[in-house]
Amino acid sequence: MMNDDDGPGLVAENLWVGDILNAKNLNLLNRLKITHIINATAEEKMYYPDNFIYLRIPLYDRASERATPFFDQAIDFITSAHADGGLVMIHCAEGVSRSVTLALAYRMHKDDIPLSQAFWQMKSVRPEIEPNPGFLQELRELERVKWGHVVTKEKLTQYDYGFVELDSPLLQLRYRVETYCAGGSYHVGMRQVEVQRNAVLEVARNMELSELESALPSIIFKNFHDFGGNTRRDIEGRANLACILEDVSIINVGFANVIRNVVVTIGSSEEWKEFLVDHPRAPDMIQELKSVIAPGFQYDRYETEE
């Protein structure tokens, strides 16, 4: 493994990780004999489509984002490129989070090593790497898929919150709903949407009504916090929440009643009043959700004001 000054880092055999400046530098790419490029951003364009084979992984660098739906696609792309004798560079904006996450997933898969080993080896080449906390949790879940348990429990970066055991139905539901809401057919494709939907329903079917009722407020607050803007991504994230709650409602009548009741009454809670202080658009967002879950109820946007 090696690093060339401000250039990309060679983090595995024939695999480089870099930033957007590297991705724009045609002379550098040619000197390194790059043949394939993974653009791990939703915002940057493919700069040389006539010179390289590209794959876009449309990730945003925020903790609410989910990279897991793209792991297989990235791994297959790298594996296929190498099989054809190619050299791959993965880049994002800074080369510290999104691109690093995909490279770590590839190394964990190919070399059959835990996250911690892949991380520290990569950090020795590219010291600035710092996947956001959400991505690190996803990589820990990849360990669980591979080995049946999480291996890397220590904190890896300044902002990493370490291993969080998803040992209760409540936490599992929250995590899987968040993953579903961060996806959507436009973002991850219909196949991954169905995988994520089934993951939510699998947990929900094994929950008691009281557990579902307890989990829902925090799920709604987290969704409105993560997708509280007016961008296409935000609108889709909120629409995804309404969609998955509808799907959970179909499981049985009790679930439908619980979900409808929480959505209708959440605006009268003390937590909601506190939430409004930092999220002034929340009344509009809950009205959006009510129009799908409980269309017969109308929300007074001023009902929680003193």
Q: What is the pLDDT of residue 52?
A: 98
CA distances from 99 to 26, 38, 48, 137, 230 (A): 19, 8, 18, 16, 26
Which residues, in sequence order, are bridge partners of residue 2?
Answer: 10
As given in the structure block, the two tokens for residue 253 are 């009548």
Q: What is the pLDDT of residue 304?
A: 38
CA 272 – CA 40 distance, rounded (Å): 36
CA distances from 115 to 69, 88, 107, 124, 155 (A): 18, 21, 9, 14, 11
Overall pTM > 0.95: no
Which residues, 6+ apart, have CB-to-CB distance to 158 below 8 Å?
Answer: 130
Q: What is the pLDDT of residue 190?
A: 84
List domains and CATH numbers for the chain.
2-130 (3.90.190.10), 169-293 (no CATH)
Instruction: Check: CB of residue 9 under 8 Å from CB of residue 125.
Output: yes
Would you call 92 a catalytic residue per the annotation? yes
Burial of 114 (0-12, 13-18, 19+ CB in 10 A): middle
Show the 3-state SS of the chain: CEECCCCCEEEECCEEEECHHHHHCHHHHHHCCCCEEEECCCCCCCCCCCCCEEEECCCCCCCCCCCHHHHHHHHHHHHHHHHCCCCEEEECCCCCCHHHHHHHHHHHHHHCCCHHHHHHHHHHHCCCCCCCHHHHHHHHHHHHHHHCCCCCCCCCCCCCCCCCCCCCHHHHHHHHHHHHHHCCHHHHCHHHHHHHHHHHHHHHCCCCHHHHHHHHHHHHHHHHHHCCCCCHHHHHHHHHHHHHHHHHHCCCHHHHHHHHHHHHHHHHCHHHHHHHHHCCCHHHHHHHHHHHHCCCCCCCCCCCCC
Closest CA to 154 of 166, 140, 142: 140
Measured torsion, CA atoms of residues 193, 199, 203, 205, in degrees rounded to the nearest 10: 70
CA 226 – CA 214 distance, rounded (Å): 20
**For 72, phi and psi rounded to 5 degrees?**
-60, -40
Sequence-separated contacts (24+) of 276-280 with Cβ below 8 Å: 276/304, 279/224, 279/225, 279/228
Q: What is the pLDDT of residue 167?
A: 65
Q: What is the pLDDT of residue 3?
A: 56
Tens of pLDDT along the chain (306 residues)? 555 557 899 999 999 999 999 999 999 999 999 999 999 999 999 999 999 999 999 998 887 788 998 999 999 999 999 999 999 999 999 999 999 999 999 999 999 999 999 999 999 999 999 999 889 989 998 998 899 888 998 999 987 877 666 667 888 898 889 888 987 777 677 888 888 899 899 999 999 999 999 999 999 999 999 899 888 888 999 999 999 999 999 999 999 999 999 999 999 999 999 999 999 999 999 999 999 998 865 444 434 333
Candidate list 40, 74, 81, 92, residue with the active-site label: 92
Instruction: Check: CB of residue 139 under 8 Å from CB of residue 101.
Output: yes
Q: What is the pLDDT of residue 159?
A: 79
